[in-house]
Chains A and B, each alone.
Chain A
Amino acid sequence: MSEITKIINGCLAGDRRDQELLYRRHASKLYAVCLQYSGNDEEARDILQEGFIKIFENLSHYKHEGSFEGWMRRITVNTALEKFRSRHNLYRVDDIDTIQEPDADPDNQDYAGLEANDLLEIIRELPPKYRMVFNLYAIEGYSHNEISKMLNISEGTSKSNLSRARMILQRRVGSYTGIRKRAANG
Chain B
Amino acid sequence: MDERWANIDLVFRNGLKDFEVLPPPEVWDSIKPAIKVKPRPFIYMRAAAMIAVLLTISFLAYRWSREISKVPDTQLMAFEIDKFSPVIVPAVSVQTVITSSIVDGKEKNVVTPLLSSLISGNSENSVPRENMTSSFTSGLTTSEINNLSLGRNFATNVPLQTKMTSSNVKSIELTPVIPEYIPESSTTNSIERWSIAAMASPTYYSTFNSDNNDLSRQISASEQSVVSYSGGVALSYKLNKRFSIQTGLYYSSLGQEIDGINSFGGFQKYDYTKGDYNFAVLTSSGTVYIDNADVFVASSTPGERILTAYTNDVFDPNKANLEYISNTLIQNFSFLELPVVLRYKVVDKTFDINLIGGISYNMMVNNSVYTMVEGSKYPIGKTEGLDMINLSSSLGMGLEYNFSKKLSLNLEPTFRYYLNTFNEPAGTTIHPYSFGVFSGISYRF
Contact = CB atoms under 8 A, between A and B. Distances in A.
A169 interface: yes
A170 B8 contact: yes
Contact of A117 (B36, B273, B429): B273
Interface string B424-445: 1111110000000000000000
Contacts of B280: 24
B187 interface: no
Contacts of A57: 35
B40 interface: yes
Contacts of B16: 32, 36, 116, 119-120, 123, 139
Contacts of B282: 24
A184 to B, nearest CB: 16
Contacts, number: 134
Contact of B275 (A22, A31, A137, A169): A31
B68 interface: no
B20 A106 contact: no
A29 B20 contact: yes
Contacts of A163: 1, 5
B22 interface: yes
Contacts of A45: 23-24, 26-27
A138 B13 CA distance: 7
B349 interface: no
B274 A35 contact: yes
Contact of B30 (A17, A49, A105, A120): A49
A179 B207 CA distance: 53
A52 interface: yes
Given A17-B429, A123-B12, A28 B7 contact: no
Interface string A133-171: 010011100000000000000000000000100100110
A173 to B, nearest CB: 7
A138 B12 contact: yes
Contacts of B13: 138-139
Contact of B15 (A16, A29, A119): A119
A31 B21 contact: yes
Interface string B274-298: 1100001010000100000000000
Contacts of A166: 5, 8-9
A49 B31 contact: yes
B50 interface: no
A154 B300 CA distance: 54
A106 B426 contact: no
Nearest to B20: A28
Nearest to B215: A21
Nearest to A115: B272
Contacts of A16: 32, 37-38, 40
Contact of A28 (B30, B309, B425, B426): B309
A13 B38 contact: yes
Contacts of A111: 7-8, 11
A139 B14 CA distance: 8
Contacts of B22: 27-28, 31
B42 interface: no
A13 B8 CA distance: 44
B274 A120 contact: yes
Interface of A: 13-24, 27-29, 31-32, 35-36, 41, 45, 48-49, 52-53, 56-57, 105-107, 109, 111, 114-120, 123, 134, 137-139, 163, 166, 169-170, 173
Interface of B: 1, 4-5, 7-9, 11-13, 15-16, 18-24, 26-28, 30-32, 34-38, 40, 272-275, 280, 282, 287, 307, 309, 424-429
28 contacts: A14-B36, A14-B37, A16-B40, A17-B424, A17-B426, A17-B427, A19-B32, A20-B426, A24-B282, A27-B22, A27-B28, A28-B20, A28-B309, A31-B22, A32-B19, A32-B21, A52-B31, A53-B31, A105-B4, A106-B5, A111-B11, A118-B272, A120-B16, A120-B19, A139-B12, A163-B5, A166-B8, A173-B11
Identify the 5 closest CB pairs spanning chains A and B, nearest first.
A14-B38, A20-B426, A21-B426, A117-B272, A28-B20
